[in-house]
Amino acid sequence: MTIEVLDPTHGDEPDPFALAPRLDDVAGATIGVISNGKQGTRRFFDALARELIDTWGAADVVRVTKPNYSAPAGDEIFDRAKQWNALVAGIGD
């Protein structure tokens, strides 16, 4: 005797989010880094910023930190992000 069961997931429902297209070139771009603000992340993102500028020629790396590392970035940060060519979701621990 067969049984018919129901899918407990959202199934094929598309994810409302998608990654932004990659930049053709980092050179000359303004890159944002939204850090979650955990204490151990600072030096890592310092190094990342240097790498983006010194090695890859980024025009600028803008560093912002979320006020709550467990919550999404707020509108203020997203408004600033509109000025950037790309951003890094800086999740660190």
Q: Shortest distance, CB of residue 69 to another protein, whole angstroms?
A: 8
The secondary structure of 30-73, three-state, reads EEEEEECCCHHHHHHHHHHHHHHHHHCCCCEEEEEECCCCCCCC
Q: Does 19 bind another protein (CB under 8 A)?
A: no
Number of residues in contact with another protein, rule: CB under 8 A? Answer: 20
Per CB under 8 A, does 14 bind another protein?
no
Is position 18 an interface residue for another protein (rule: CB under 8 A)?
A: no
Residues that bind another protein (CB under 8 A): 1-12, 16-17, 39, 68, 70-72, 93
